[in-house]
Amino acid sequence: MQDFEFYRPGNLLELKEYLSLPGARVLAGGTDIIPKMRQGKFTAPILVDTSGVKSLDFIEDQGERIVLGAMTTHQQLAESRLIQETNPALREAAASIGCIQTRCRGTLGGNIANGSPAGDTLPPLLIYDAEVLLQSLEGERSLSLEKMILGPGQTALEPGELIHSISYQPLKGKWGSCFLKVGKRSGMAISVVNAAGAVVLDSSGQIADVRLALGAVGPVVIRCLETEKSLLGKRPDQGIFQQASEMVQHEINPIQDVRSTTSYRAHAGGVIAARVLGIAAERAARRKD
Amino acid sequence: MKEIKVKFILNGSPIEVLSSPNRTLLDVLREDLGLTGAKDACGGEGECGACTVISNGKPINSCLVFIGQVEGAQVLTIEGITPKDGYHPLQKAFVEAGAVQCGYCIPGAVLVAKALLDTNPHPGDREIKEGLSGNLCRCTGYQKMVDAVHLVIDGGLDD
């Protein structure tokens, strides 16, 4: 294991101070960074552990928005009633990550900072137009999640900057959302393709709003805007979701890698896109308000 | 490399260790403290669960935690749940159900099961299987582990 200096600040200000040191990187849960360091795929002269900064560990309903501290673990998301009530797709995604041991360590902030095209929390956050709050000694700025993730493993984080929190606006009216993924096995597998969908129905049962995002089918998680547009104003049934499934395959741009082939990813992407939309529509139809 | 001092609670007793920061909790448990119940079976990828310990009530892979991250935590290892003379009910149940063959994965599996039962005393089959999904076994398989957890839940253990 490579050498590094280690700091464990006890509050947010100290964390920002340590992070301003040249070469300093955040160590959150460590479930991705530590194996990468062993393989020599991640190096940093200074690691700043965030586990002592309790003010980054929260799930809050702030009225207009739900705000999630960067240190919220996947297990906390999976067990949160507020997440289930406002973004069931995110709860399902968090519950599907790794195993209990890694969910208890891995954090939401870490999943975003990794910028993995296969990051499971990203599609459910993207369909809710999530915002990321970044902070440093210099100040803070807010970015859409879309602008935050630039490419595989690349984010808009500047040196000295940390993810403070992630927020999203709950959907209103008769809505439903859902997350599904395809992997090699149910425990521990990294997604071959994942998808989150949300559907809002108007009083006549037609689609008033629809959002669809797919992961691991391009350099970054993708919102399928064309497919979304084609579904607006339609009545949700198997037929239109089948058409959506075909459209999705033209909007995504999967690669071939150790986990899967281009053609399998395109096909599976279409299949789970139709499924998440179908389930989201059913959930919307069941909602009473 | 500069060593760091880390204080935490290990199996109920406060402890202070001095280590270079690039070592994991698993390294320190096994190499410095002689607690070899936690094991490395996957090369530190977090894939196998053999190094599982319970930290602040939650099961974690001790190979995926740098020692400095343990500061202030309550850590429980398989040694800590084993009474001086005898065995923890889960340990007895694993033996009784025939879940143990080579034994390498068992401390991790027992601790995951303990953490599960501590938060959910009556898990269903599905919850037990999900709970154990991060623990690889290459001998007896998983059904017997699930049976073992059921033995404890149902109180079907012989004394």
A1 in contact with B, Cβ within 8 Å: yes
Q: What is the pLDDT of residue A186?
A: 58
Q: What is the domain partition of chain B in residue ranges?
A: 4-79, 89-154
Q: Which amino acid is at A223?
A: R
Q: Is the dihedral of CA A175, A120, A104, A148 positive or negative?
A: negative
Among B55, B60, B117, the residue to mutate for chain A (most A Cβ within 10 A)? B60
CB atoms under 10 Å from CB of B94, counted, come to 27
A4 in contact with B, Cβ within 8 Å: yes
Class (C level, CATH) for B4-79: alpha beta
| CATH 3.30.390.50 location in chain A | 174-286
pLDDT band of residue A238 (cuts 50, 70, 90) is: confident
Q: Is the dihedral of CA B143, B148, B151, B157 positive or negative?
A: positive
Are residues A188 and B133, on separate chains, in Cβ contact within 8 Å? yes
Q: Which CATH architecture has domain A1-49?
A: 2-Layer Sandwich (3.30)
Length of chain B: 159
B76 in contact with A, Cβ within 8 Å: no
Within 13 Å of residue A33, how many CA atoms lie on the same side as its CB?
A: 26
Residue A188 has pLDDT above 70, yes or no: no
Cβ burial of B18 (10 Å; 0-12, 13-18, 19+) is: exposed
Residue B158 has pLDDT above 70, yes or no: no
Question: Once rounded to an integer, what is the mean pLDDT over residues A239-264?
Answer: 88
pLDDT band of residue A274 (cuts 50, 70, 90) is: very high
Question: Once rounded to an integer, what is the mean pLDDT over residues A224-237?
Answer: 96
Residue A230 has pLDDT above 70, yes or no: yes
- Chain A, 18 to 37: residues with Cβ < 8 Å from chain B are 27, 29-31, 34-35
**Hey, which residues does A131 pair with through a beta bridge?**
A144, A167
Residue A184 has pLDDT above 80, yes or no: no
Contacts of A4 in chain B (CB under 8 A): 21-22
| CATH number for the domain running over B89-154 | 1.10.150.120
Contacts of B50 in chain A (CB under 8 A): none
For residue A7, the SS3 value is strand
For residue A147, the SS3 value is helix
| B19: Cα separation from own chain's centroid | 22
> pTM for this one?
0.95
- pLDDT tens digit sequence for A3-26: 999 999 999 999 999 999 999 999
Of B22, B52, B59, the CB nearest to A2: B22
Q: What is the pLDDT of residue A17?
A: 98
- pLDDT tens digit sequence for B15-69: 999 999 999 999 999 999 999 999 999 998 889 999 999 999 999 999 999 999 9
pLDDT band of residue A216 (cuts 50, 70, 90) is: confident
Contact B139, B102 (CB under 8 A): yes
Cβ burial of A156 (10 Å; 0-12, 13-18, 19+) is: middle
- Chain A, 241 to 260: residues with Cβ < 8 Å from chain B are none
pLDDT band of residue A78 (cuts 50, 70, 90) is: very high
Q: What is the pLDDT of residue A260?
A: 82
Cβ burial of A22 (10 Å; 0-12, 13-18, 19+) is: exposed
**Which residue, A78, A93, A162, A172, is CA-closest to A126?**
A93
Of B1, B49, B52, the CB nearest to A3: B1
CB atoms under 10 Å from CB of B86, counted, come to 9
A184 in contact with B, Cβ within 8 Å: no
- pLDDT tens digit sequence for B95-123: 999 999 999 999 999 999 999 999 999 99
pLDDT band of residue A187 (cuts 50, 70, 90) is: low
- Chain B, 131 to 150: residues with Cβ < 8 Å from chain A are 131, 133-135
Length of chain A: 289
| CATH 3.30.43.10 location in chain A | 1-49
CB atoms under 10 Å from CB of A84, counted, come to 15
Contacts of B46 in chain A (CB under 8 A): 31, 34-35, 98, 101-102
Q: What is the pLDDT of residue A127?
A: 98
| CATH number for the domain running over A174-286 | 3.30.390.50
